[in-house]
């Protein structure tokens, strides 16, 4: 009985740690499949985290908080879209600038909210949580956002490979010139993909500040945006691999906490590195095959589109 | 019925389109009858592509009117064109490499069908017109000819009433081209009009009923290609008498200058072709033509010969007797090998650099640099010499590479590579996209170089060109090279069969193709 409890706790904790990566990563995957490389994920997540937190505390409704966070992420993505798609600025430089902007702006917005207490959304949704048995308590930690993250890879797989919209998305990312010649509106599709990516980043950030560690502090995303970006590339733009990478990261994060709790005689800083390191190493090994990487990479990734006509 | 057939399917009147300083189309009028196969003839830059883009709704004209079956129309975008019944097969295929045939076709059609339903229709159309197409294959596995069939099937699925073909045979073997003509004639019999764009006159004579000739954006003449001679049409196109190239010196057996022995090299590109067991010898004073449809290993072979990719062993490639397989491009140039790459800007020359600096790029070893410093005066003289000798149309040696037309840039690059009297010259598609006048000048330059004792290797898709200038012809197909044959001992048909991948096993020069 006790072992099942521990196992359940590990599974739940892993899923929760993987959720922000899964959601932000999937948003970025869609944007990149359309041929746009947005390196601003970290910044958009931070905006989502601060705006989501403030929105929830101010309105008392986590749902409004999440919506506000998605809008904030999408707003930042819109800035990116205008700069890179309409004005054809360099995507890499603009994305980096977006992250720097997001780090600073989220800190500015959230400056009065550091240390404000907030109950986790799980407690909000299930009022009887604290009285339930430990097993049920664990299960109830799986809030709707986690369930969304669990379903996401399968939805994404179906969307990308089985629907017409997914086919058009892949086509635009493969060759914008051909898509344009066939009469598809490359810019409109890319704007939609980038905005969707921003909204998902905002949602992922808000999950961190509303559910994972219910509080706001500066730079609390702590590089997860970058990991999400790396996961997209190493997963060779495939949703199921992205899910596996996210779960791996989540699992090593939990293992690291356990190791610290057990009082392992290793520097906590080294342990804190572990999830990032392990994820990157494993994914590099997975995506070692250069041909496969080239085959699956959206061929037009990062290239500005200009309709020559 | 008569009244209907008198109404042209498409009538253009006074179409004008201006880009910045150039008038791409000026007051162009033409009309195409139902079921007619109409040729649009012209040199590169004559305005054919612009006109076709206007018809297909990719480009909006500045002035002029379009009438479709008698009614005036505005074609706002390709979707509008397709709704009218205009189908187009592009010169550079508009296919997505990583998608399947059916997915590619679905992207070009309306949204109502599932892939499964579409697959059935594709197979049906393919059977009806004898176009071999497999809906579930990925496009990157397909040969160029197969890709074109996919494009045609995509058009046919929309039951077009006007089919535009933009230089369709430039990538086909002669046999594949024949097959295409059969399909087009059949479409024409069924009442579909065809607008056929090409500069290959023999094809137009064989296929078309009517031709409109463009030069510098204007209609300069119309003719019936079945009646007019190729000479007449060519002179209409270039607006003057046709110069001819000729071989100056008789052939003599020279010493080997480039030897390739059992070269096998895996491609490092995902859709590349592996080179398999390639052997040939090029001798001083010879021109060896390598025929083949693009994508059969030409790029890989040229990279292996130029030194961009190293051979597995030093002995696999010998230049002037020196084992050079492991040497890089600069070292091979020091052995007096020159290289004219396929892409003019980007590999042959730097677009942003002025011509004088472009002149220096590959020949700096020929005494243009002393003590680490560039001798600008002699470089400038060299660049000026190229411009005069090859009649390059440019605004002087300070004009940027990108300001030249493709043909003029190519003449400049050919001049630069020939100017140092290389022992071996590798030329990749030397006249691709170059107009007739410049092409003749380039061919003449290659022949003169060979006559002066150099070995020249020409990779080209243009069989007529290879038969004109080469002493030997070999065919590259699927990464394998056929044994070089004397040009006068082989025929276009035989080479065409080899291009299609039919390597005769063990058959020597005894292939009696009396035809």
Q: Give the closest of B59, B90, B270 to A291, CB-based.
A: B270
Q: Which of A32-46, A86-100, A146-160, B154-168 has the lowest mean pLDDT?
A: B154-168
For domain B243-336+421-515, the CATH superfamily is P-loop containing nucleotide triphosphate hydrolases (3.40.50.300)
CA dist A218 and B372 (Å) reads 55
Report whether pLDDT(B2) > 60. Answer: no
Best of A182, A291, A295 to mutate (most B CBs within 10 Å, chain B): A182
Least Cα separation, residue A167 to chain B (angstroms): 7
Residue B423 exposed, middle or buried by CB count within 10 Å (0-12, 13-18, 19+): middle
**Structurally, what CATH architecture does the domain formed by A2-296 represent?**
Orthogonal Bundle (1.10)
Tokens of A2: 């006790």
Do the domains spanning B2-238 and B243-336+421-515 agree at the CATH topology level? yes
Q: What does the pLDDT read at residue B10?
A: 93
Q: Between A43 and A119, whose confidence is greater?
A: A43
Report whether pLDDT(B22) > 80. Answer: no
Chain A residues inside the 8 Å CB shell of B58: 181, 309
- Whether B302 and B459 have beta carbons less than 8 Å apart is answered as yes
Residue ranges per structural domain of chain B: 2-238, 243-336+421-515, 347-416
Least Cα separation, residue B102 to chain A (angstroms): 11
Q: Which of B19-28, B116-125, B325-334, B453-462 has the lowest mean pLDDT?
A: B19-28
Chain A residues inside the 8 Å CB shell of B269: 294
With CB atoms and an 8 Å threshold, state whether B78 touches A183.
Answer: yes
Chain A residues inside the 8 Å CB shell of B272: none
Residue ranges per structural domain of chain A: 2-296
In order, the DSSP letters of B131-200 are ----TTSBGGGS-HHHHHHHHHHHHHTT--SEEEEESGGGGS-HHHHHHHHHHHHHHHHTT-EEEEEES-
**Structurally, what CATH architecture does the domain formed by B2-238 represent?**
3-Layer(aba) Sandwich (3.40)
Coil, strand or helix: which one is B431?
Answer: coil
Report whether pLDDT(B508) > 50. Answer: no
Coil, strand or helix: which one is A20?
Answer: helix
Coil, strand or helix: which one is B211?
Answer: strand
Identify the band that residue A126 occupies on the pLDDT scale cut at 50, 70 and 90.
Answer: low
Which positions ≥6 away from B112 have C-beta within 8 Å?
none
Identify the band that residue A81 occupies on the pLDDT scale cut at 50, 70 and 90.
Answer: very high
Q: What does the pLDDT read at residue A166?
A: 93
Chain B residues inside the 8 Å CB shell of A179: 107
ipTM for the complex? 0.79
Report whether pLDDT(A303) > 80. Answer: yes
CA dist B236 and B232 (Å) reads 6
**pLDDT, tens only, B108-123:** 877 677 888 889 999 9
Q: What does the pLDDT read at residue B3?
A: 42
Q: B398: how many CB neighbours lie within 10 A of its CB?
A: 12
Report whether pLDDT(A171) > 90. Answer: yes
Which positions ≥6 away from A291 have C-beta within 8 Å?
B270
Least Cα separation, residue A207 to chain B (angstroms): 35
Report whether pLDDT(B497) > 60. Answer: yes
Chain B residues inside the 8 Å CB shell of A174: 96-99
Q: What does the pLDDT read at residue B4?
A: 45
Q: For chain B, say whether A262 makes contact (Cβ under 8 Å).
A: no
Q: Between B281 and B158, whose confidence is greater?
A: B281
**pLDDT, tens only, A179-217:** 887 888 999 999 999 999 999 999 999 999 999 988 999
- Whether A229 and A37 have beta carbons less than 8 Å apart is answered as no
Coil, strand or helix: which one is B427?
Answer: strand
**pLDDT, tens only, B201-222:** 888 888 999 999 988 889 998 9
Q: What does the pLDDT read at residue B167?
A: 80
User: If residue B341 lies in a helix (H) or strand (E), which one and from where to where?
Assistant: none
Identify the band that residue B270 occupies on the pLDDT scale cut at 50, 70 and 90.
Answer: low
With CB atoms and an 8 Å threshold, state whether B270 touches A181.
Answer: no
Q: Which of A25-34, A237-246, B135-144, B323-332 has the lowest mean pLDDT?
A: B135-144
Q: What does the pLDDT read at residue A225?
A: 95
Q: What mean pLDDT value characterizes chain B? A: 85
Chain A residues inside the 8 Å CB shell of B107: 167-168, 171, 179, 182, 184
Q: For chain B, say whether A30 makes contact (Cβ under 8 Å).
A: no
**pLDDT, tens only, B383-407:** 999 998 888 888 888 888 887 777 7
Q: What does the pLDDT read at residue B503?
A: 55
Identify the band that residue B510 occupies on the pLDDT scale cut at 50, 70 and 90.
Answer: very low
Report whether pLDDT(B165) > 80. Answer: yes
Report whether pLDDT(A252) > 70. Answer: yes
Q: B293: how many CB neighbours lie within 10 A of its CB?
A: 22
Q: Give the mean pLDDT of B443-462.
A: 90
Q: What does the pLDDT read at residue B513?
A: 37
């Amino acid at each position: 009985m006790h072992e099942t409890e521990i196992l359940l706790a590990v599974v739940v904790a892993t899923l929760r740690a993987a959720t922000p990566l899964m959601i932000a990563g999937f948003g970025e995957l869609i944007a990149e499949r359309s041929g746009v490389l947005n390196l601003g994920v970290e910044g958009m997540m931070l905006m989502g985290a601060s705006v989501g937190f403030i929105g929830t505390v101010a309105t008392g409704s986590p749902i409004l908080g999440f919506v506000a966070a998605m809008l904030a992420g999408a707003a930042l993505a819109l800035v990116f879209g205008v700069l890179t798609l309409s004005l054809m600025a360099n995507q890499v430089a603009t994305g980096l600038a977006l992250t720097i902007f997001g780090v600073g702006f989220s800190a500015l917005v959230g400056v009065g909210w550091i240390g404000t207490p907030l109950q986790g959304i799980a407690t909000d949704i299930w009022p009887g949580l604290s009285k339930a048995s430990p097993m049920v308590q664990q299960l109830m930690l799986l809030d709707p956002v986690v369930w969304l993250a669990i379903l996401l890879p399968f939805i994404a797989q179906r969307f990308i490979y089985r629907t017409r919209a997914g086919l058009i998305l892949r086509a635009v990312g493969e060759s914008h010139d051909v898509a344009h010649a066939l009469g598809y509106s490359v810019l409109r599709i890319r704007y939609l993909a980038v905005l969707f990516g921003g909204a998902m980043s905002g949602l992922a950030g808000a999950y961190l500040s509303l559910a994972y560690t219910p509080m706001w502090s500066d730079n609390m995303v702590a590089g997860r945006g970058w990991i999400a970006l790396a996961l997209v590339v190493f997963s060779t733009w495939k949703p199921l691999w992205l899910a596996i990478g996210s779960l791996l990261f989540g699992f090593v994060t939990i293992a690291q906490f356990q190791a610290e709790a057990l009082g392992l005689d290793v520097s906590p800083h080294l342990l804190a590195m572990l999830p990032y390191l392990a994820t990157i190493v494993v994914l590099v090994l997975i995506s070692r095959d250069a041909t496969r990487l080239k085959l699956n990479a959206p061929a037009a990734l990062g290239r500005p589109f200009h309709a020559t006509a | 019925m008569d009244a209907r057939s008198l109404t042209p399917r498409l009538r253009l009147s006074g179409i004008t389109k201006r880009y910045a300083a150039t008038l791409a189309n000026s007051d162009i009028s033409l009309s195409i009858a139902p079921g007619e196969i109409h040729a649009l003839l012209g040199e590169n830059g004559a305005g054919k592509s612009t006109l076709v883009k206007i018809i297909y709704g990719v480009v909006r004209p500045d002035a002029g009117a379009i009438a479709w079956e008698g009614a005036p129309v505005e074609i706002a975008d390709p979707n509008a064109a397709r709704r009218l019944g205009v189908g187009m097969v592009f010169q550079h295929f508009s296919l997505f490499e990583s998608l399947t045939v059916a997915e590619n076709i679905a992207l070009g059609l309306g949204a109502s069908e599932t892939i499964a339903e579409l697959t059935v229709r594709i197979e049906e159309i393919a059977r009806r017109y004898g176009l071999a197409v497999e809906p579930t294959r990925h496009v990157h596995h397909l040969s160029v000819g197969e890709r074109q069939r996919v494009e045609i099937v995509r058009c046919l699925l929309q039951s077009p009433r006007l089919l535009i073909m933009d230089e369709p045979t430039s990538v086909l073997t002669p046999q594949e081209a024949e097959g295409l003509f059969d399909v087009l004639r059949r479409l024409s019999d069924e009442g579909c009009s065809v607008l056929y764009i090409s500069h290959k006159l023999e094809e137009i004579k064989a296929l078309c009923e009517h031709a409109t000739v463009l030069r510098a954006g204007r209609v300069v003449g119309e003719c019936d290609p079945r009646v007019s001679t190729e000479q007449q049409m060519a002179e209409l196109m270039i607006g003057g008498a046709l110069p001819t190239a000729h071989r100056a010196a008789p052939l003599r057996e020279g010493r080997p200058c480039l030897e390739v022995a059992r070269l096998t090299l895996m491609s490092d590109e995902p859709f590349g072709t592996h080179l398999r067991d390639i052997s040939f010898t090029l001798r001083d004073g010879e021109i060896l033509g390598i025929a083949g449809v693009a994508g059969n290993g030409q790029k890989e072979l040229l990279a292996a010969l130029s030194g961009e990719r190293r051979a597995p062993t030093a002995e696999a490639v010998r230049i002037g007797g020196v084992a050079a397989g492991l040497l890089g491009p600069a070292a091979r140039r020091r052995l007096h090998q020159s290289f004219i790459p396929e892409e003019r800007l980007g590999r042959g020359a730097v677009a942003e650099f002025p011509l004088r600096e472009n002149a220096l790029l590959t020949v700096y070893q020929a005494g243009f640099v002393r003590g680490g410093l560039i001798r600008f005066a002699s470089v400038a003289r060299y660049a000026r010499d190229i411009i005069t000798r090859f009649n390059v149309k440019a605004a002087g040696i300070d004009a940027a590479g990108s300001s030249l037309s493709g043909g003029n840039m190519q003449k400049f690059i050919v001049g630069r590579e020939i100017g140092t009297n290389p022992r071996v010259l590798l030329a990749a598609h030397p006249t691709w996209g170059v107009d007739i006048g410049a092409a003749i000048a380039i061919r003449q330059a290659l022949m003169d170089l060979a006559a002066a004792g150099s070995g020249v290797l020409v990779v080209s898709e243009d069989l007529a060109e290879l038969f004109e200038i080469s002493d030997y012809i070999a065919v590259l197909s699927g990464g394998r090279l056929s044994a070089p044959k004397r040009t006068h001992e082989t025929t276009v048909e035989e080479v065409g069969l080899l291009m299609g991948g039919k390597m005769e096993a063990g058959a020597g020069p005894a292939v009696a193709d009396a035809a």
